[in-house]
Amino acid sequence: MKNHSDIDLIEACKKNSRKHQEILYLKYFDKMYGMCLRHTSDETVSMSVVNDGFLKVFKNISRFKHKGSFEGWIRRIVYNSLLDYFRKSSKDQMFIELDSRLNFNDTDDNIDYKELLALVDTLPENSKSVFIMHTIEGYNHKEIAEIKGIPVGTSKWYLSNAKKKLRELLQKNRVQQIII
């Protein structure tokens, strides 16, 4: 398959070229599917979410402003499709399974989604942003560094700082729950 630039693919997809939509889909499928699979652990659900996301990508491709990475734009749309899936499937009770990348040694494997987001929201802005991009949205440190205009090492430090502060907050909450 010939390598197509994102700009060429975007322009062809704006013209509703099925061939180029397929090329774009295949180019980004593995990354988007992997992101969804990390959050659902269900191949069927992940496939459905990715397909819903790409449908939204193709419907809204004319809205891409060429600011930031195209892959990041796609990732955001697919991630929002993932959130839509969770909202529809679990109504008020939503859980996030903390994967091994978080490395929270002394905490429960599952944490209430709203509780985790509330704790994440208390983090310093840069640490919070990198934590969300890396752990929830699935960006790697090189991508984060490019998007935020920071060195890769700084991205890694912000993530480490976020995890450290979250461990402290989770431990504090656990102690408070035991006391109560």
35 closest CA partner among 89, 87, 90, 74: 74
Number of domains in the chain: 2
Domain membership of residue 138 (yes or no) is yes
Handedness of CA 34, 39, 44, 50 (dihedral sign): negative
> What pTM was computed for the model?
0.55
Residue type, 162: A
> Among 90, 114, 144, where does a domain finish?
90
Q: pLDDT-derived band of residue 14, with 50, 70 and 90 as boundaries?
A: very high
Q: What is the 3-state secondary structure (H, E, C) of 118-175?
A: HHHHCCCHHHHHHHHHHHHCCCCHHHHHHHHCCCHHHHHHHHHHHHHHHHHHHHHHHH
Q: What is the pLDDT of residues 22-34, one digit of tens each?
A: 999 999 999 999 9
Using only C-alpha atoms, what is the Rg of the chain? Answer: 18
pLDDT tens-digit profile of 111-155? 556 677 778 888 999 998 898 888 877 788 998 888 888 999 999
Neighbours of 52 (CB within 10 A): 18
Report the pLDDT value the prediction gives residue 156, as an integer from 0 to 100. Answer: 95
Cβ(138)–Cβ(35) under 8 Å?
yes
In a domain, 1, yes or no: no
Task: Name the nearest CA neighbour of 37 among 46, 29, 49.
Answer: 46
Supply the CATH number for residue 29's domain: 1.10.1740.10
Residue 171 resides in a domain: yes
